Structure 1
Amino acid sequence: MESQRNILLIALLAVSFMIWQQWQTDKAPKPAVTETTVTSSNQDTLQNDVPNADSKAGVPEEHPVVASKELVRVKTDQLDVLINPVGGDIVHAALVAHKLEQGKDDPFVLLEQKPGFTYVAQSGLIGSGGVDSSAGRPTYTVASTEFQMKDGNDTLQVPMTYTAPNGVKYTKIFTFRKGKFDIRVDYQIDNTTSAPLQVQMYGQIKQTIKPSDSHMMMPTYRGAAYSTADTRYEKYKFDEITEKDLHKETQGGWVAMLQHYFVSAWVPPADQSNLIYSSVSNGTMANIGFRGQADTVAPGKTATVGADFYVGPKDQAALSELSDTLNLVVDYGVLWWLAVPIYKLMMFFHSFVGNWGLAIILITFTVRGILFPLTRAQYTSMAKMRNLQPKIQELKDRFGDDRQKMGQAMMEMYKKEKVNPMGGCLPIMLQMPIFLALYWVLLESVELRHAPFMLWIHDLSVQDPYYVLPILNGVSMFIMQKLQPMSPTMDPMQAKMMQYMPVVFTVFFLWFPSGLVLYWLMGNIVAIIQQKIIYAGLEKKGLK
């Protein structure tokens, strides 16, 4: 088996598979959206879906609620949030440290409410003692419309109060932490009546159904996901939400909305029973949420129920703090078992060199170094196979069309010469999963977003703006092809196709993230050096 031919062919199959995968995704045109920003004077009408306490499925029932004239603004070192006093929903969340565009000051906005697009986080209380129902939602009173975490403080609390007609006092408290993207949302219920109250907290994420920004070389996911005690991580696409409402009873769990690099998620207490549900409003708005267990507040007593809401980047460490499985939203696919150690190795290298491009290069050296003994065995086996070609031809002439005798004679010859005809396959089969796993690591790791390398490469998560790396990669593949002698028995048409493979892959890599092309280019350079070293050793042994 010819090494270079098989590397290129298997790589082509892998790239073709990724293209086919993306071709299967929904290609519906994106709705036209007018870019506007939610402000504290927003008076637009918000469509709030509140779960009906009597619904067995926990599916929200839609009703319109007029937004407050003044939204409550909360600023920390990581978040810039707007909260609607009507219902206490988070209707806007900007990530201060993550910019919309590299080199610009505008923050990346994850949650927002604007014409043509809604993406908000809602929560409330239902049940006999709840204040959120199909009839309406409470308007909370807030001491101020501006809250900002002060220097030296590690937490910031934003209390919002509402007193029901029966005298029961409800306090909705948002707790923000320094350096964190998770928000603790608690309800304190002060039962001033003489009768027990039953309350259930719900939390849901609501988003206008919108296609992903992915393309063939960047097959990213946009949609919902959830976790239960039985299912650690499951995507629930917008199409699935439209076709069937989700209804999962579980202990713990979480619900989320995902997009490339970023996630919003409700994480209820892990020790309580929850209902995971989904619904669609007007065929254009997808909801996924949880409904907590019913708690009873005795007369004259105060009780607290709550949950965590995360809105930020797919930071695996931060997500793992909230749930053992929430980090799975960084989706590496079927090769997660290989991608996770690669990601950890990349983080380890970056902790020393401080540059993600150099970390990728170090990963390349590490992988190629580990595979070098196998690579040497591969080339040795190939050289022995070439030297056996005259003997193989003699066997063909002797046995003609008798395949059984021919096969037996060849196996005896392989055994006598100590040659494994499959010896050239193993390193190739190991390299391709590593390539694909690293592809997903580079695609999913938010750390590489806007991460510069050097010179003209200012963002390793996007394609090379000048296509220098793809072209250099094509040149390196051409050199490798020239170093690898073609088999004299290769079909002329196949040999001609092989000559065009570097060109084909150069075109493919034009749209790949520059970090991935950098890995492939450095791998080729290391492979060329290894080939020269191995060939020199084989020549000394008399093997051509």
Structure 2
Amino acid sequence: MESQRNLLLIGLLVVSFLLWQQWQTDKQPQPVATQAAQSGFVPEASQTAAATADVPNGQDSAQARSLIKVKSDLLELTIDPLGGDIVDAKLLAQAKTLDSEEPFTLLEQGPAHLYIAQSGLIGPNGPDADQAGRPLYQVSGDSFALADGSDELVVPMSYTNAQGDQFTKRFVLKRGSYAVQVEYQIQNQQASPLQVQFYGQLKQSTATPEGQQSGHMMASAYRGAAYSSDEQRYKKVTFDEMTEKNLAVTTPGGWVGMLQHYFVTAWAGQPEQKNEFYSRSINGHKEAIIGLKEPMVTVAANDKAVVGATLWVGPKLQDEMATVANHLDLTVDYGWLWFIAQPLFKLLKFLHSLVSNWGVAIILITLIVRGGMYPLTKAQYTSMAKMKLLQPKLTALRERFGDDRQKMSQAMMELYKEEKVNPLGGCFPILIQMPIFIALYWTLMESVELRHAPFALWITDLSVKDPYYVLPLLMGASMWFIQKMSPSTVTDPMQQKVMQLMPIVFTFMFLWFPAGLTLYWLVSNLVTITQQTLIYRQLEKKGLHTRKK
């Protein structure tokens, strides 16, 4: 019994340590960079022109232009006709804060924070490789909107170079989608071939902007870059790693992206061609770039060609992202227990489709999980009861063998075998519940569906802490009650004090946990109390007295 208590204590401490370690990893301050600042991306095919896909400093003010506003049912984009970059993106279906009428801004080009999606054509004949600067596109208007009854919005922007070659950059937005198709229609008007190469990149300030700092002690999420290749389904590239080494990966298809809590922006390359991924740390490491280059395209004399890629700019919606690019849904990062978290989320989503309340869905998934574990739970408490009955015999063995540990262990194993008792039988449900708890923690942390999702009464957002700390206090009280119900043979005063402190420690931890997770743990404890009561009554009928005196 004492060994079971020790294992329980170790298990709880392991859970605490893993969550605390993850929080420390995400929250630790970034080291001061010592490497010299690198310039923006310079294409190898145009070194002589000193071309850059990164907008040169000071160039913006050289040519007057009006920004282009593009609006679909889900997105409101602002496009700079100089280069055709997306310099602002608002998510119309996602509120900035709870009960706010202002939409969430994902991309922005402000004085305090920069986060933009750039794209262009480089190579020997690419307009973005011109030494004079990036192309200024001509647009028929400065405002475009998805018409009622229409499922698609196309925004064309045209540019003609000095040789008469025509480049039409098109943004295609579809109703109900956060995926934006960015493509170039190229018309070669010369008598010689024309060579261009498409690139798409994301440029962002490395400092965390105001409003994105987590309000929870434990609830931190990854912010940085990532990519997917044929060798790495999902690989993070932190801003610190960019200062140490530039990314250089060649892969069929794949994607590159910038991630933050609940949202992602990603360029997805064409799956049938080999793309080059790259990263840069620029401007004294204050800004980071990650991007992709598609293969060089040769347009024959007086011929046409189309190149481009897909840009996802929106919330982390797994089903929708999976249709845009392979493994883009893995940006919903469930950590090393993803194989448990993914089925849990699918079950949670199914339950929500039945009850239309995420809080109720969490309660139902708790009942299902704990109900499925009931046979193990019953075996646990039966084993604990039998272990308690064996305590007098174990005490006699200790007195008989004294300090002879080998003989003592041998005698104990024979006693367990004779009485058909497994000394570790009470630990299996705990070992199973630990990874489920951690997996559900990341499920509730990463699922944008729970952002601003109400439950009942004062719980108006399950993704943040209980504002009045009612759920954590109830959870702590239920944990204390379970401890009082459970039989114990611990005689060591230090162990007794540690066990008594566990409800207090966990209550303190849960003060900052998302309300959805605290709700799960509270309901789980209530189920445990109910199951314990039923099991103890059955055991008492068999003559096994387990309750504390």
The residue aligned with 1:117 is 113
Q: C-alpha displacement at 1:116, in angstroms?
A: 2.6
After superposition, the Cα gap between the structure-2 partners of 1:204 and 1:98, relative to the gap in structure 1 and judged at 3 Å, is: same
Of residues 496-505 and 285-294 in structure 1, the stretch that sits farther from structure 2 once superposed is: 496-505
The range that moved more, 394-403 or 273-282, is: 394-403
2:247 corresponding residue in structure 1: 246
The answer to whether the 8 Å contact 1:4/1:480 transfers is: no
Q: Secondary structure at the match of 2:45?
A: coil
Match for residue 184 of structure 1? 181
When normalised by structure 2's length, the TM-score is 0.92
1:207–1:286: 8 Å Cα contact kept in structure 2? yes
- 2:135 is aligned with 1:138: yes
Q: 1:424 to 1:134 in 2, by over 3 A?
A: farther
| Aligned mates of 1:157, 1:275 — CA distance in 2 | 28
Q: 1:514 to 1:127 in 2, by over 3 A?
A: same
> Is 1:54 aligned with 2:45?
yes
Larger deviation: 76-85 or 502-511? 502-511
2:151 to 137, 151, 154: 154
Contact 1:117/1:208, CA 8 A, preserved across alignment = yes
The alpha-carbon deviation at position 8 of structure 1 amounts to 5.5
Question: What corresponds to 2:35 in structure 1?
Answer: none
State the distance in 2 between where 1:8 and 1:523 align.
Answer: 18
Distance 1:134 1:162, change over 3 A: closer
The one-character-per-residue Cα deviations of 1:501-543 (angstroms, maximum 9, x if unpaired) are 2122111111000000000000000000000000011111111
Q: Please give the secondary structure, in 2, of the residue aligned with 1:206.
A: strand
1:368 corresponds, among 357, 370, 380, to 370
Please state how far the C-alpha of 1:132 moved relative to its aligned partner. Answer: 0.4
Superposition deviation, residue 270 in structure 1: 0.7
Q: Does 1:234 align with 2:235?
A: yes
Q: Deviation of residue 389 (structure 1)? A: 0.9
**Aligned partners of 1:29, 1:385: CA distance in 2, in Å?**
51
Q: Which residue of 2 aligns with 1:85?
A: 81
Cα distance in 2, alignment partners of residues 55 and 198 from structure 1 = 11
Pairs aligned (count): 525
The question of 1:95 aligning with 2:91 is answered: yes
CA–CA separation in structure 1 for the residues paired with 2:364 and 2:205:
42
Shift of 1:222: 0.6
Partner in structure 2 of residue 444 of structure 1: 446
1:199-348 superposed matches below 5 A: 199-211=196-208, 213-214=213-214, 216-283=217-284, 284-348=286-350
SS at match of 2:330: helix
Worse overlay, 447-456 or 219-228:
219-228
**Structure 1 position 60, deviation (Å):** 5.3
Structure 2: where are the runs of 5+ without partners? 32-38
The question of whether the paired residues in 2 share the 8 Å contact of 1:62 and 1:281 is answered with no
Question: In the TM superposition, what whole-angstrom CA distance separates every residue of 1:383-442 from its partner, at most 9, and x where no partner exists?
Answer: 111111111112122222222222221111111111111111111100000000000000
Identity, in percent, stands at 53
Partner of 1:406: 408
Please tell me the residue identity of whatever aligns with 1:346: L
Q: Which amino acid aligns with 2:80?
A: N
TM superposition shift of 1:24: 3.5
From 464, 467, 472, the equivalent of 2:466 is 464
Q: Residue 42 of structure 1 aligns with which residue? A: none
Q: Hey, what does 1:40 align to over in structure 2?
A: none
Q: 1:516-527, aligned counterparts within 5 Å?
A: 516-527=517-528
- Superposition pairs of residues 26-37 of structure 1, within 5 angstroms: 27-28=28-29
CA deviation map 1:173-197 (0-9, x unaligned): 0000001001000100001110011
* Equivalence for 1:43: none
DSSP-derived class of the 1:319 partner: helix
Contact kept in structure 1, 2:73 and 2:92, CA below 8 Å: yes
Q: Secondary structure at the match of 1:54?
A: helix
Q: Aligned-pair distance for 1:105?
A: 0.5
Please give the per-residue CA displacement for 1:232-260, whole angstroms capped at 9, x wherever unaligned: 10000000011111111111111000000
Aligned partners of 1:253 and 1:270 also within 8 Å: yes
Q: Secondary structure at the match of 1:63?
A: coil
**How far 1:498 sits from its partner (Å)?**
1.8
RMSD across aligned C-alpha pairs, in angstroms?
A: 1.9
Q: 2: distance between equivalents of 1:59 and 1:129?
A: 13
Provide the residue aligned with 1:37 in structure 2: none
Corresponding residue for 2:478? Answer: 476
* In 1: Cα distance, 2:445 partner to 2:54 partner: 38
Structure 1 length normalisation: TM-score?
0.93
Name which of structure 1's ranges 478-487 and 86-95 shifts more when overlaid on structure 2: 478-487
Match of 2:71 among 75, 100, 103: 75
In structure 1, distance between residues paired with 2:119 and 2:55: 14
Is 1:194 matched up with 2:191? yes
